[in-house]
Amino acid sequence: MNIKIIGVGKLKEKYFKQGIAEYAKRLSKFCKFEIVEVADEKAPESLSQSEMDTVMAKEGERILDHIKDKEYVYALAILGKERTSEAFAKEIADLGTYGHSDITFVIGGSLGLTPAVLKRANAQISFGKFTLPHQLMRLVLSEQIYRAFMINSGSPYHK
């Protein structure tokens, strides 16, 4: 199985990099795990709706450039469907069983994801109503992917 996370922006914080590297190492027993960083658009604090749409469109194009037709895509979106860790683990297992061995997760930048990316997604997933920095979300998502594989392997890690 191939798991990819596409994130907007460069991860700068050493502690996030270390945490993600740890989960990447753990995941190597179960899948090929990859993180792709796409450039974020520089944007001042106050933008008009038109400027925000332009920023999101440019970031969206960069994201879509890294998604192949055969990939099953989850878009992380606040309005996406919330899942339990067990339900998420079952989804991952079912995708692998039914021919979707390439799974991609997309984390947008500070303005979110463009409609084109959301349309390409096979599913939207939410980790709740909280707004989290996209850098932190990469770490949380990496852990939940690892947790899914541990649940599926019957490991006590999940408890």
Annotated binding site for S-adenosyl-L-methionine: 76, 108
Which residues sit opposite 34 in a β-bridge?
A: 4
Tally helices (H) and strands (E) across the chain: 5, 5
Tokens 């947008």 belong to residue: 108
Give the ranges where 39-106 is alpha helix by DSSP (H). 49-64, 85-97
Residue 91, Ramachandran bin (φ over 0: left; ψ between -120 and 50: alpha; else beta) = alpha
Helix (H, G, I), strand (E, B), or coil: what is residue 152? helix
Tokens coding 87: 């339900």
> What is the DSSP-derived secondary structure letter of residue 42?
P
Q: Give the residue numbers of the binding site.
A: 76, 108
Two structure tokens written together for 74? 């989850």
3-state SS assignment for residue 108: coil
Query: Do 57 and 98 meet the contact criterion of CB atoms below 8 Å apart?
Result: no
